[in-house]
Amino acid sequence: MKLVPFASSCLPFFLCAAALTPRGPALSPQSREIRVAAAADLQFAMKDLAAEYEKGAGNKVIPTFGSSGNFFSQIQNGAPFDAFFSADVEYARKLEASGHAEPGTLFMYAIGRIVIWVPAGVRVDVARNHWDVLLDPEVQRVAVANPQHAPYGRAAVDALKGAGLFEKLEAKIVYGENISQTAQFVESGNAQAGILSYSHALSAPMKDKGAFWMIPQDLYPPIEQAAVVLKSSAQKDAARAFLAFVKGPAARAILERYGFTVPAVSAPPKGL
């Protein structure tokens, strides 16, 4: 397995992320900043969620995006976040079980999908040929998120194995640190195809620059995504309020617009 290293000039990562997080205008004394560790597949949806929430609340949402597995480790080591939106419900469950998450705050906010996405300049027809485009000589590299800590990468590898293609394609695969970096590989031309989140395929930067085919859901386990308020948060009430907003109709509509399946609010995560 060829893993693409994630370059970073300072450690720990979450301190770098905090330093690079843009700051908005000063808040009123009653306002709170909610620091959200968000799975990379939420790169576009979370910005819309934050903007919609801030219209009716005095609080500001400051998201940082990355792989769910990396955030899981960082939170266990004291990363200064108030809420965690994971692309894998298991990370949220483990944080709750270990006492790092506020009891009773875990809820499944979405179920993700994966697609094969091909940029417009690559001369293959993904809508017609589906899996076969990955075997086409025109496709020299296939971008996949790192399955070691990115849930979308695990789903991609499971789907490739389910289709009987993983061994055939292994030499072509390049791994991104998270699903956003994986999308960048394909957008930049460093890969000619990628297995990406449906939410990326529908995003403004990508929807008119290529074509995609939806990978059948029976080839990989459901990508169940869950959120929790973190025990270490100094803004628990504000974080709870944001999670409550995400359960509401305006937020659900945003998530659906980005291709997520939104579970019924009353349905608990499977296994609880």
pTM for the full predicted model: 0.83
The pair of three-digit structure tokens given for residue 230, joined into one six-digit string: 């973190």
The strand ranges marked E within the chain are: 33-39, 60-66, 83-86, 107-112, 114-119, 142-145, 173-176, 193-197, 210-214, 223-229
* pLDDT score for 16: 39
Please check the confidence at residue 266 and state whether its pLDDT lies above 50: no
Tokens of 62: 């400051």
Domains of the chain listed by start with CATH number: 13-111+223-257 (3.40.190.10), 112-219 (3.40.190.10)
Pairwise CA distance, residues 133 & 179, whole Å: 20
- Predicted confidence (pLDDT) per residue in 87-116, tens digit: 999 999 999 999 999 999 999 999 999 999
> For residue 56, what pLDDT band results from cuts at 50, 70 and 90?
confident
Report how far residue 200's alpha carbon sits from residue 187's, in angstroms, rounded to the nearest whole number: 11
Contact in structure between 148 and 121 (CB atoms under 8 Å): no
The pair of structure tokens assigned to 201 is 């395929």
